[in-house]
Structure 1
Amino acid sequence: MSTLTSPAGHLDRSFGTDGTTILEGSDVKAIAVLKAPGPHQGKIIGVLADGNDFKLFRLEKNGLLDTSFGTGGYLRWGFAGSPVRSTPTGITELSGDKLLVTGYVQEGSPATLYYPAVARFNAGGSIDLLFGNDGVYVFKEPLPTAQPSSDITPQQTSDGASVYVVDANDDRILFAFNSGTFRPYANQGLLIQLTPAGQLDTRFNEQGYVFFQFDAQNTASIGLAVRQNGNFIVVGTAPNRAFLAAFTPTGQIDSSFGTDGFAVLAQAAGPVTLTQLLLQPDDKPVAVGWFSVASTRKGYVTRTLADGKPDNTFNNALPVTIERPFQSLHLKSARLDAEQAIVVAGELNTRALGLVGRLTPQGLMDRTFGIDGLSDTGIDGILNYTNSMAIQEAGGIVVAGSKNPMAAVCRYHG
């Protein structure tokens, strides 16, 4: 499925140093491949955690640090000044040679509060002072008055608070905040839309944000994807259930989707934790994550029809279970490749070994990829933990995370 000649699913030793690039920091949180035409097209942009701040970085296509970016390849920044902790969770390329970093700030002690945050940067590695407040927007709006009394269990949310950009263009910046059990927005699905200038967009629900809950239960909003008609789909979790929800461009529930705007995803053998939502060109949503059975995690992938109904053409409308015998496996990120195969990345967390896998568009493990659809974890050079993944034009699968104890990026043949 690519122009690369080495067997698919194997570590690409031509990338970085013997397949891996080690970076200054503790953990790469997100990466993207630059698509805008120009001298940097195809390069890898990323953001990593580093103490109370974060660093942007840029790599050449072959994984070497691009020292023309920022200062020596890096730009150190934060959503707010010390002692506030800034944690990045996403990076997105915008039009007009801009980059958007999303994440959250942690304030207060011992009762820490987590607030969604966004910062915009110029493509060359400097803050864009025309956005928000000196380049940064932090969401601190009040909660709805009524909330359920019990929390979602940690097993039903992805690891930590997170922000995912779904749609960022000349007209709007739309994203979801997954607070999990973190205050002040615990138990609430939260969608936020900003203007290109970095202010709340009142075209969206008349105030620029939406709090929502599924079936009046504690709710975590995991991610978003925008449909061809401008509506968008949210994937989330409520107690013992994972779901999809459809919204109009103005932030109202789209009642034509599923049942009154919501669709319950196929159940697994245990509680499901979702980490990624993909949207195929035919508007079919794909949800990725893991589930737990007797303290062992297994990968979870499912797809519905565009209207939220079960899709019998994808694994007979059943969720795909991805597993390795006697190992706990969970999936952290996913992308669609040029042939619409589903490429996933995660790790065997029993042994802290990163891995990638590939499913066919029909929901079958691609046996031409790695070992029965999964990469070999018994080799030198792979990451220990993964957070993000991107696919290069030639098919290379770039995975980011950490190789203990350093931030790192590696590449597999696609």
Structure 2
Amino acid sequence: MNHSVRKAGWVALMAGALLVGGGACGGDDSPSSDGGMQADAGTPPDAGTKLPAEEGRALAVSNGGLVVVGSTEANLATTGVDLLVRRYTASGEVDTSFGTQGSVVLDFEGPAKGPISGQREQDDRADTVAVLADGSLLVAGFARGGSASDSRDFAVVKLKANGQLDTSFNKTGRSRLHFGEDNAVDFVGTLRSILPLADGRFYVGGFLTKSDGLDEDFAVIRYNADGSLDTTFKSAGSPSGSWIGGAYTDAEAVQGMVLQGSSVVLGGGDHFAAVRITSSGSQDLTFGTSGLAKSEGGQAHALVARPNGGILLAGERQDVQVGGTKHGVLKLVAYTADGKPDVTFGPAGVRELTAPAGVLDVVDVSGLRIQADGKILVYADVYAKPVLFRLQANGDLDTSFGVDGMVRWPETQLAVPLFIRSTTGPKLALLGNQAFVTDANIYASGFFPDENARLLLKSTGL
């Protein structure tokens, strides 16, 4: 069943005890990829074999293996780009007990309601995944709304632990949320974060914008466990079941969500914005300044909770003058639990890394984790060269980690986890506080995180 809502107006890093909770990366929003994930991770394809282009967008640990979600062009001529879910074993091989020979491919079948054009069906993509306590999976992203436009609807799928659609969820195992009038292609949206609740309900967050793309707004939806919209979650000016933050003029996108009691804090996008939404669906205007926390300059792509009850956002700020030259720099912003700048972390709660020279020219940040000892791990793309930073709790580089607080490896231009590809070049594994580099194409179980681990990820967005 499709909900219709009216509204006015992988380079991947394996990480023991690391997290970007199965969420989506920042950066590219193109609906397809020419990346090319191997169908069988352990065996190189025969010469001349052309596999469908696939792109991994998010990761999660499930049943001792690794679930990768994203998109595939396997059925490009007939259904367009389809949503893809695949599970790998701990040794990096395709888990054939999952779905159909290891994969689930889903097509959302064109516009939400009624024909829009005679062209082929439209593109679908998964941008985030969460594993529930019973092993089932929630997968979310977008379903494209019309071939003559870039319109996109919110898409959510629930799979059983074995990869089969859970038909107790919205009767079909999938839900599509369309904004605007029936058949209209006025809105673009995608979901980048999932936050399950203890009672079975869950939040999904992302952004929504008019198809002209001039302004992206925070969007958070609350679903009941059965896949129906939770209409007790409501806010003036937003459809029931949702909170759409249309009061700001910058590009805001939910890159992470954190529970604070019964409220949810969400943040990401321009100026490291964050807001707090009550369980009833209204914006908490006591948070930050008049309901909004922000730090001028740059864009945040990840959010985590801090041990003191506050939140930390990581991203980058471009065109920072260092030695008379403009650079992109890693920027972290710490807020208190109430959305005020945490001045114990840095002036105005901000740390921008401008030294040593090796930290400069950060172009994209997509991974963030606070370790049990309080140290901060940040994953960034530095002109196509993956870099992992480790910082002290106060934001200083931890110079005992790697070289000057950084672990680097060569340019890859791959959009899928290296350890499940038959390819040469180093692979980085993180276990606890130690980093290892291996040239093995298939990771042994000793390199794979345990069930309680999460994975730090990066999609290059080819």
TM-score, length-scaled by structure 2: 0.67
Out of 310, 314, 337, which is 2:345 matched to? 314
SS at match of 1:125: coil
Q: Distance in 2 between matches of 1:262 and 1:108?
A: 34
Deviation at 1:185, TM superposition (A): 9.9
Structure 1 segment 7-406 matched on structure 2, within 5 A: 25-34=53-62, 40=63, 42-51=64-73, 52-80=81-109, 83-132=121-170, 134-142=172-180, 161-179=190-208, 182=211, 186-205=215-234, 207-214=240-247, 216-237=248-269, 241-265=271-295, 267=296, 271-293=297-319, 296-322=327-353, 324=358, 327-349=361-383, 352-378=384-410, 384=414, 392-393=449-450, 398-401=455-458
Letter of the aligned partner of 2:344 in structure 1? T
Paired residues of 2:368 and 2:456 also in contact (CA < 8 A): no
> What SS class does the counterpart of residue 58 from structure 2 fall into?
strand
Q: 1:201 Cα deviation (Å)?
A: 0.5
Q: Distance in 2 between matches of 1:329 and 1:314?
A: 23
Distance in 2 separating the partners of 1:74 and 1:327: 37
Per-residue CA deviation, residues 378-408 of structure 1 (Å, 9 max, x unaligned), is 48xx564589x99834998845456898xxx
- Is 1:189–1:211's contact at 8 Å kept on the other side of the alignment? yes
How far residue 278 of structure 1 moved from its aligned partner, in angstroms, is: 0.9
When Rg is computed on C-alpha atoms for both structures, the one with the higher figure is 2
Aligned-pair identity in percent equals 22
Cα pair distance change 1:296/1:72, threshold 3 Å: farther
Is 2:268–2:313's contact at 8 Å kept on the other side of the alignment? no
Offset of 1:97 from its aligned partner?
A: 2.6
- Work out whether residues 272 and 313 of structure 2, in 8 Å CA contact, stay in contact via their aligned partners in 1: no
Instruction: Summarize the Cα distance change of 1:191–1:355 in structure 2 as closer, same or farther, 3 Å threshold.
Output: same
Distance 2:165 2:415 in 1: 29
Give the distance between the partners of 1:122 and 1:175, measured in 2 at CA: 19
Report if the CA contact (8 A) 1:31-1:390 is conserved: no
Q: Secondary structure at the match of 1:140?
A: strand
Contact 2:60 2:454 in 1 (8 A): no
- Opposite residue 300 of structure 1, the aligned amino acid is K
Alignment-derived partner of residue 436 in structure 2? none
Q: Residue 353 of structure 1 contacts residue 384 of structure 1 at CA under 8 Å; is this kept in 2?
A: no
2:23 aligned residue: none
- Once the two structures are TM-superposed, the CA of residue 249 in structure 1 deviates from its matched residue by 1.0
C-alpha change, 1:133 and 1:79, in structure 2 (3 Å) is farther
Structure 2 distance, partners of 1:113, 1:3, is 36
Gaps of 5+ in 1: 5-15, 18-22, 35-39, 144-159, 406-414
Matches of 2:430 and 2:161, distance apart in 1: 18
Shift of 1:195: 0.8
Could you tell me how far apart the structure 1 residues matched to 2:284 and 2:310 are? 16
Q: CA deviation at 1:237?
A: 4.3
Distance in 2 (alpha carbons) for counterparts of 1:371 and 1:181? 45
Residues 28 and 46 in structure 1, CA contact (< 8 A), matched pair in contact too = yes
The 8 Å contact of residues 386 and 399 in structure 1, kept in 2 or not, is answered as no
1:68: Cα distance to partner? 2.5
- CA distance in 1 between counterparts of 2:197 and 2:430 reads 18
SS in 1 for 2:407: coil
Structure 2 unmatched runs, 5+: 1-13, 17-40, 43-50, 74-80, 111-119, 182-188, 321-325, 418-428, 432-448
CA distance in 2 between partners of 1:365 and 1:29 (Å)? 28
- Are the aligned partners of 2:301 and 2:315 in contact in 1 as well (CA < 8 Å)? yes
Q: Supply the distance in 2 between the matched residues of 1:327 and 1:56 (Cα, whole angstroms).
A: 33
On the 8 A contact 1:222/1:274 being kept in 2, the answer is no
Q: One-letter code of the match for 2:373?
A: E
Alpha-carbon deviations, 1:42-65, whole Å to 9, x = none? 432221321211321222334343
Q: Could you give the per-residue CA deviations for residues 297-338 of structure 1, whole angstroms, max 9, x where no partner exists?
A: 322211111111221221344423346366443212222333
Does structure 2 conserve the Cα–Cα contact (< 8 Å) formed by 1:163 and 1:175? yes
Work out the CA distance in 2 between the residues paired with 1:121 and 1:100.
7
**How far, CA to CA, are the matches of 2:151 and 2:461 in structure 1?**
28
Give how far 1:245 is off: 1.0
State the distance in 1 between where 2:371 and 2:95 align: 25
Aligned to 2:114: none
In 1: Cα distance, 2:245 partner to 2:391 partner: 32
Q: CA RMSD in A?
A: 3.5
Provide the C-alpha distance between the structure 2 equivalents of 1:366 and 1:395, rounded to a whole number of angstroms: 25
